[in-house]
Amino acid sequence: MEYFKDFENWNELKKKIDSTDHKPPYFNEGDVWWTYVGINIGFEEDGKKPLFLRPVLVVKKFNPFLFIGISMSTKLKNIQYYRPIKIKDKKVSVIISQIRSYSSKRLLNKLSEMEKKDFRDITNKVRKYFPSL
C-alpha cells in the first residue's frame, strides 16, 4: 500500500495553528510533547493523521516560543541515528537525524518527561553531530 501525503488537510490545519493567539505552554528541556509535525518532504518524519502529530523530545529551549526538538517513533531500528528509550513504560526511538527547530505553537500537550540519565545520553549523542547544542 502506497503512503498518501495529505498536504491539503495539513495546510488547512497549519493555517489554523499559525493564526491562533498564542500563549506558549510551559515546557522544558527533556519534555516529550505531542507536536503538530505535519506532512513533510521526502524522508523527513511526518505526523500521523488526523492532527499530524508525533511525539517530540525538547532538546534545547531557546525561549518560550522556539526550541530544538527530535521526532520520536515506535519503530526500533539498530542504526546509529535511532536511539532507543522508554517513555511511559513503552520502548520507543529518538530519531537523531530528525532534529530541527520548532515553534511552541506546534505543541499540543505534554506526554512525558524523560529520565535525566536518558536525556543526558541523548544530548551527548546529539552533541557528537551538533557540538554547539
- The closest of 108, 70, 110 to 92, measured between CA atoms, is 70
Q: Is residue 33 part of a domain?
A: yes
pLDDT tens figures, 5-15? 899 999 999 99
Q: What is the mean pLDDT of the chain?
A: 92
Q: Give the number of domains in the chain.
A: 1
**Collapsing DSSP states into helix, strand and coil, what is residue 77?**
coil
Looking at the domain assignment, is residue 17 inside a domain? yes
pTM for this model (two decimals): 0.93
Sheet containing 82-87: give its strands across: 82-87, 90-103, 66-73, 53-63, 31-36, 107-113
Q: Are 93 and 71 in contact (CB under 8 A)?
A: no
- In a domain? residue 2: no
CA 126 to chain centre: 14
Asked whether residue 62 is domain-assigned, the answer is: yes
CATH code, 57? 2.30.30.110
* 1 inside domain: no
Range of the domain at 102: 7-129
Q: What angle do CA 40, 129, 43 make, to 5 degrees?
A: 20
| Residue 32 resides in a domain | yes
